[in-house]
Amino acid sequence: MGLLAGISSPADLRRLKPQQLPALAAEIRDFLVHNVSRTGGHLGPNLGVVELTLALHRVFESPKDTFVFDTGHQSYVHKLLTGRQDFSALRKQGGLSGYPSRTESEHDVVENSHASTALSWADGIARANQVRGFDDRHVIAVIGDGALTGGMAWEALNNIAESEDRRVIIVVNDNGRSYSPTIGGLAHHLDTLRTTRGYEQFLGWGKRTLSRSGAPGRFAFQALHGLKKGLKDVVMPQGMFEDLGIKYIGPVDGHDEAAMERALQRARDFGAPVIVHAITEKGRGYTPAEQDVADRFHAVGRIHPETGLPVAPSRFGWTSVFADEIVRIGRRRPDVVAITAAMLHPVGLAPFAAEFPERTFDVGIAEQHAATSAAGMAFAGLHPVVAVYATFLNRAFDQVLMDVALHKAGVTFVLDRAGLTGDDGASHNGMWDMAMLRIVPGLRLAAPRDEPTLRAALRTAVDVDDAPTVVRYPKGALVDDIPAVTELDGVDVIARHEGPDGARRVLVVGIGSMAGTALATGEALAAHGLAVTVASPTWVLPVPAALVKLAGEADLVVTLEDGVVDGGIGSMLAQRSAEQGITTPQVHRGIPLQFLDHATRDQIAAATRLTAADATRDALAALTPR
């Protein structure tokens, strides 16, 4: 029985003696490495916040005091200290979420996995505490330096700074990285803070120098005053925060638990907004993570804990195909540039950046800026390719609509992890993009089903210079190629089952990664004596006229998509069919309009009736007797 096993609440932690805390920190790191290596999860960020989280829970009293983590992938230590030590099913159906979760604990407030939002949450909670007269409660936002590159964080800082008595403590967990090294002016500012020798040290040097110079008293005083004024901006760049009206404490060694406690106690007792700047090391205490420069340990699958190597090598995936094809495109098209929002490696742009560094732009966690900056680049003669996870394009919808589409800008958005992603939970399923983007005038969207169609879609997309294009693909390993048996005006037919004479005709449409499910559905329906055509159009927005024509030739249409079914591609097909006077009944299968708990893709598909068996049953039920 170690120290960790004896902690079921933060109160238990506060009863420990300070000299016991290093041993507890070592236990926690050992726990994280051995458990996350079995399940997969966010390892590096949590190894880096062990002492910081211990100090937080010893100084503040959760849940009376509110903790908000930005992003929530650095909350594993918080889970351990609040009574959640069964990590055996982490990020699996029925197990712990990989992010804070209100359904798990009263100590969790925000399922915060879209970055740069914690400060707004903290501001809102603190305002409410003031209005309700709770003047003994604090709100603590833990935000990474990477998340501070997002504009929403600065909107919140602007508002937090206006109050002189709002009890908000902002802990900047500064490890110099988000997924990749943090970039931009803020990163340089924090670098200065990390490396500064200290204002008082410089001032002492100035006093000694003037004293030895023998300068007259009045001159020495004036020189010293000028020295102080000049040095303040050089060696006290925390003034950027203090000029906003927010007290600054730091930099503090985030791995010195006692120093962190002292800094947090000062912040708590100040009674007004305070920034505590903690310097931490991502992956601290785990040699493979400490030595890794590509940040492979930010999030891991199952690994060998001794070496950090994967238990099973990853199969060649969708992202790798994009990574290879965009480099090929870049070689023949010098006007193509790449934009990433702090995710160069996860979205597959690292090879492009290696070959074309001057044509690769990491804008930080700032999807809105990425989209509008891309519009500006398009205006100036380039063709930008903006690569993000599908779920994060939600944040830039206004910019896609009003800056890109309105101005007919030739910008390509590549959406990784579209559809069901599963284990990261509700916020990471890329299920909104097709229903959301269908209303953008002029936008064209491709949902390739395999490697050849993905490569072809990318080549087509970058050739469009007068409208936004979108190419979406799922998370994970590639499927086997699904060749077309015929092509009808841009719509691929991937299977035909003729059926007996007089058989009723069914059109099954598989969008993107649902093509395989559509094939299985077609086979099952054919076994019931139906004539089935299975189609898988690569370009689905706008709805192809040939697909509408096929719908008019069928007795029933079944659509399958891994996006929200309400307002999705199926409903668009029904609308276009009705406009043509086509009355063929249609069955649309997709993701219901609800947030989905973390589970595997197959488990979610089964729970949402998005399997071939479900589609077959629905189709047979819809075929009313003649």
Candidate list 51, 111, 367, 561, residue with the active-site label: 367
> Quick one: tokens of 320?
């790798």
Does 282 qualify as catalytic in the annotation?
A: yes
Beta-carbon contacts of 190 under 8 Å, excluding residues fewer than 6 positions away, are 145, 172, 174, 176, 182, 277
Angle at 121 between CA 116 and CA 123, to 5 degrees: 110
**Most distant pair of Cα atoms in the chain: their distance:** 112
Beta-carbon contacts of 344 under 8 Å, excluding residues fewer than 6 positions away, are 179, 180, 350, 353, 360, 362
Beta-carbon contacts of 100 under 8 Å, excluding residues fewer than 6 positions away, are 69, 72, 75, 78, 108, 109, 110, 111, 112
**Which residues is 338 bridged to in the sheet?**
360, 385
User: How do beta strands 139-144 and 486-488 pair?
Assistant: unpaired
Residue type for 367, please? E
Does 306 qualify as catalytic in the annotation?
A: no
Cα–Cα distance, 36 to 228 (Å, whole number): 50
Residue 73 assigned ligand-binding role: yes
Residue 146 assigned ligand-binding role: yes
Cα–Cα distance, 110 to 118 (Å, whole number): 8
Cα–Cα distance, 293 to 32 (Å, whole number): 20
Residue 114 assigned ligand-binding role: yes
Candidate list 166, 167, 284, 395, residue with the active-site label: 395
Candidate list 282, 296, 359, 475, residue with the active-site label: 282
Residue 407 assigned ligand-binding role: no
Cα–Cα distance, 574 to 234 (Å, whole number): 64
Residue 159 assigned ligand-binding role: no
Residue type for 281, please? E
Residue 99 assigned ligand-binding role: no
Cα–Cα distance, 87 to 277 (Å, whole number): 30
Residue 141 assigned ligand-binding role: no
Peptide bond into 63 cis (omega under 30): yes
Per the listing, tokens 């100036």 go with 380
Q: How far is CA 502 from CA 404, 529, 530, 531, 597, in A?
A: 50, 10, 9, 9, 45
Residue 367 assigned ligand-binding role: yes
User: How do beta strands 505-510 and 531-535 pair?
Assistant: parallel
Summarize the annotated binding site as residue ranges. Answer: 73, 113-115, 145-147, 175, 286, 367
Residues serving a catalytic function are 282, 367, 395
Summarize the annotated binding site for thiamine diphosphate as residue ranges. Answer: 73, 113-115, 146-147, 175, 286, 367
Summarize the annotated binding site for Mg(2+) as residue ranges. Answer: 145, 175
